[in-house]
Structure 1
């Protein structure tokens, strides 16, 4: 049996690890070049993400994940623009987390390096199209001329999935009316002194009354690594004075700092102390629910099918997809299509429940990311 996975973010490599561990031939394709710098910041995984990592990774790699995790904070807080706490939700460790899964705070780049250990990635291979073959398999074509035949093609190619566009042309991903500029600031002595206590002890979001908000969270390694503060400045597009996609990193950084300049002065100072190379911009999007399609040798995981408003749950749900698909395929007693159909039925149920939950959290004043301890 051969599986082709398109997308080497997080869910794709985790699925590859699980399938390889079960003796299944896997090929992983990634559109970015091997030397292309990847975006990566502090990312939260709830218990379902931890359980997925345990299930798919060899023990030594899972141990590396735990060894490189960040210090866990005490909870989630909402602050006003003068950094006064207006809402607090403490998340104490669970006595049963060894069995039920733990909350993990991880650096995305570090985690991705661990997940790719031992996997040969076909870099610079942008998906172009696929064809269904008469024998029930699928042929995959890439822009660099590569062609691969597989029993199963898995789309792990994110919000802008080209595979989804071919498989499910009516699937909708819509804008939420919010844009964001995000980056990270090294936690030097100066930056640490400026960082709100709530951001050093978990996750916090500064919420304004006019549609602006600013998630903040420190990533402090338990052992080794350079600590940093992740920050995101979010607002309706009309509040940004420049065309964000066309702006360079220095302009994005200054625009973000100026947008919160009327709030507590430490916030704009922290943005200006950020690493310019870490600054990026995007818009906030969400997928619309859709009915189950006719199952075939092409399926999807993570943002490729249920992209959602950042609310501290999307990453764990994507890893849950990878673990569930791996389990259904490797433990099947019937046909491969039956296994994929069982995966899709369950994934669509919890996946779009998570989409709905993320939208509620994003519009409740907690703001994106607020579920992250």
Structure 2
């Protein structure tokens, strides 16, 4: 958002939570859906958006479900993405020069920032998860919230939380820019942002809970019901992976959820 405001000529100050680039590295990439892509393209200057595109991972070819013993339960072949950021086409030769000057490659690599752990407990770390409870609209002030500060959601569902936060940033950037240009009063701009953000934000929270569970006390994590749930999940993927119509529906549902913006 700060980049978007700066691009629009609005003065902005950023106060970082972490003191260095080595802080807060949790070791996984975030999937940027079309929602996040549009937000980044709107807020970032062209040269930074080009860097973002150049550093995106190759679009995956398959979605594979494994057991804890690494036995394949199902494999789904994924279609080539039609989104510019997710394109599987070869990178532009100009990307090489672009990446050579990218400061993101210059941070301290003395500690791991990507962890893949299958059998080494010391490579794992505890991660507390939480989800926000829906709130009613509040009287608008000069202070507002975005991202996890208002609609924290459970992780692991294709970066929906990150993409929703990027949508917040682009929306709030537009409203604050309008206020800075005296197209509307500041509190009116913030109120318009909150009126749009609260419904879609908590819709994403509810969807995330439906897809990821809620807490360690859920029946899913108990000895008997957990084994039944695990058996049901493996059976679902095993059958779905073998029936063409079910495979198509699974892929369509997955992409529709990730790219959805509707409330």
TM-score in terms of structure 2 length = 0.64
TM-score in terms of structure 1 length = 0.46
SS in structure 2 of the partner of residue 43 of structure 1: coil
CA contact (8 A) 1:292 1:348 kept: yes
SS in structure 2 of the partner of residue 361 of structure 1: helix
Q: CA RMSD in A?
A: 3.3
Could you tell me which of 200, 205, 217 is aligned with 1:350?
200
SS in structure 1 of the partner of residue 128 of structure 2: strand
Q: Structure 1, residues 199-239: CA drift from partner, whole Å, max 9, x if none?
A: xxxxxxxxxxxxxxxxxxxxxxxxxxxxx5x44xxxxxxxx
CA-CA distance at 1:184 after TM superposition: 6.4
CA-CA distance at 1:74 after TM superposition: 2.4
Could you tell me which of 10, 13, 16 is aligned with 1:27?
13
Aligned length: 195
Gaps of 5+ in 2: 89-98, 105-110, 214-228, 235-253, 259-263
Partners of 2:150 and 2:87 lie apart in 1 by 24
Structure 2 CA distance for partners of 1:66 and 1:361, relative to 1, 3 Å: same
Partners of 1:89 and 1:348 lie apart in 2 by 35
What corresponds to 1:83 in structure 2? 70
Structure 2 CA distance for partners of 1:82 and 1:33, relative to 1, 3 Å: closer
CA contact (8 A) 2:59 2:86 kept: no
Is residue 318 of structure 1 aligned with residue 168 of structure 2? no
CA contact (8 A) 1:78 1:86 kept: yes
Could you tell me which of 36, 45, 51 is aligned with 1:58?
45
What corresponds to 1:139 in structure 2? none
**Residue correspondence of structure 1 range 1-373 to structure 2 within 5 A:** 15-34=1-20, 37-39=23-25, 40-95=27-82, 97-98=83-84, 102=86, 230-231=115-116, 267-268=118-119, 271=120, 280-310=125-155, 311-312=157-158, 313-331=160-178, 333-363=183-213
Partners of 1:306 and 1:89 lie apart in 2 by 31
Q: Which stretch of the first structure deviates more once superposed, 77-86 or 352-361?
A: 77-86
Partners of 2:127 and 2:2 lie apart in 1 by 28
Gaps of 5+ in 1: 1-14, 105-109, 115-182, 186-227, 232-256, 258-266
CA contact (8 A) 2:56 2:86 kept: no
CA contact (8 A) 1:19 1:326 kept: yes
Q: Structure 1, residues 93-139: CA drift from partner, whole Å, max 9, x if none?
A: 343x24xx7489xxxxx9x966xxxxxxxxxxxxxxxxxxxxxxxxx
Structure 1 or 2: more helix by fraction: 2
Structure 2 CA distance for partners of 1:280 and 1:87, relative to 1, 3 Å: same
Partners of 2:153 and 2:75 lie apart in 1 by 24
